């Protein structure tokens, strides 16, 4: 369970998160929508401790993320994250990209790491690309590789930060299909996205962020069907 309590975060004088409260249960898929600069992506990087927070508390299965004695490297093994920019390791083949962390972080043998990597790459439809270097693949394929790379650590939670925003429109579908598959398999996920149809399809709950505040949260039917907050209404009207 991920518990976010009154989290505040500023970049110098700009407060991007103004007291966020959100609890995500095991097996739940929560998507976060909202305009740019609303703090959605920042929240994700705070959840796995890539960014410090100024106030409040984030707890993952009882571990306080920003506590001094928390081993973030250990915590990140169970909280995978995939970014807008897929960030392939360009000097490694697709297989090596996915094998690296299981080998070096989890300390698995080469054989075991390879077995896991092949399994995850097959899962995301890249079985044919094992020995290829990332820059020889499309953005959609690289993004799916990044998803397999995160999954190879057997995380219990996955965070997706606008994973389709940097892709050609024709490549968005293949990545969203991968996310849907994960959601159906019961992965606990928090997805920041601009894909409204996707949010509606896969989410248990949808949250709308506006200027660093979670303006509204509810089931897809509630949020898309009958938004309560005027800002939600305005936002949904503008993206339709």
Dist. CA 23–CA 21, nearest whole Å: 7
Q: How far is the CB of 96 from other proteins (least distance, A)?
A: 10
CB burial of 29-56 (b: ≥16 within 10 Å; e: otherwise) equals bbbbbbbeebbbbbbbbbbbbebebeeb
Q: How would you classify the pairing of strands 79-82 and 157-161?
A: parallel
132-171 footprint of other proteins as x/- string (CB under 8 A): -x-x----------x--xx--x------------------
Dist. CA 175–CA 68, nearest whole Å: 36
CB-based contacts of 207: which residues, under 8 Å, 6+ apart? 22, 30, 31, 32, 33, 214, 216, 217
Q: How many residues bind other proteins (CB under 8 A)?
A: 24
Angle between helices 169-184 and 139-151 (to 10 degrees): 20
Q: Which of 3, 57, 70, 89 binds other proteins (CB under 8 A)?
A: 89
Which one, 146 or 192, has the nearer CB to other proteins? Answer: 146
Q: How would you classify the pairing of strands 14-24 and 63-64?
A: unpaired
Which one, 64 or 92, has the nearer CB to other proteins? Answer: 92
Q: Is residue 91 a contact point for other proteins (CB under 8 A)?
A: yes
Q: How far is the CB of 65 from other proteins (least distance, A)?
A: 13
41-70 footprint of other proteins as x/- string (CB under 8 A): -------x-x--------------------
Q: How far is the CB of 93 from other proteins (least distance, A)?
A: 8
Which one, 118 or 214, has the nearer CB to other proteins? Answer: 118
Q: Is residue 107 a contact point for other proteins (CB under 8 A)?
A: no
Q: Is residue 101 a contact point for other proteins (CB under 8 A)?
A: yes
Q: Which of 59, 87, 165, 233 binds other proteins (CB under 8 A)?
A: 87
CB-based contacts of 230: which residues, under 8 Å, 6+ apart? none
Q: What is the DSSP letter of 54?
A: S
Q: Is residue 9 a contact point for other proteins (CB under 8 A)?
A: no
Dist. CA 215–CA 195, nearest whole Å: 19
Q: Is residue 222 a contact point for other proteins (CB under 8 A)?
A: no
Q: How far is the CB of 133 from other proteins (least distance, A)?
A: 5
């Amino acid at each position: 369970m991920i518990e976010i309590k009154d989290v505040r975060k500023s970049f110098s004088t700009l407060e991007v998160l103004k007291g966020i409260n959100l609890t995500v249960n095991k097996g739940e898929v929560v998507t976060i929508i909202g305009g740019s600069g609303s703090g959605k992506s920042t929240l994700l990087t705070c959840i796995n401790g890539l960014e410090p927070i100024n106030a409040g508390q984030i707890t993952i299965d009882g571990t306080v993320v920003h506590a001094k004695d928390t081993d973030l490297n250990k915590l990140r093994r169970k909280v995978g994250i995939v970014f807008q920019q897929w960030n392939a390791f360009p000097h490694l083949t697709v297989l090596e990209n996915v094998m690296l962390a299981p080998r070096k972080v989890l300390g698995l043998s080469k054989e075991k790491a390879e077995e896991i990597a092949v399994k995850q790459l097959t899962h995301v439809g890249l079985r044919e690309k094992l020995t290829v270097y990332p820059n020889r693949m499309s953005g959609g394929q690289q993004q799916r590789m990044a998803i397999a790379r995160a999954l190879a650590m057997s995380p219990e939670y996955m965070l997706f930060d606008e994973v389709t925003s940097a892709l050609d429109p024709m490549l968005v579908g293949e990545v969203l299909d991968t996310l849907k598959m994960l959601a159906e398999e019961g992965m606990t996920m928090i997805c920041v996205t601009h894909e409204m149809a996707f949010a509606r399809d896969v989410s248990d709950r949808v949250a709308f962020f506006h200027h660093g505040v979670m303006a509204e949260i509810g089931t897809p039917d509630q949020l898309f069907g009958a938004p309560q907050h005027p800002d939600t209404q305005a936002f949904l009207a503008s993206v339709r």
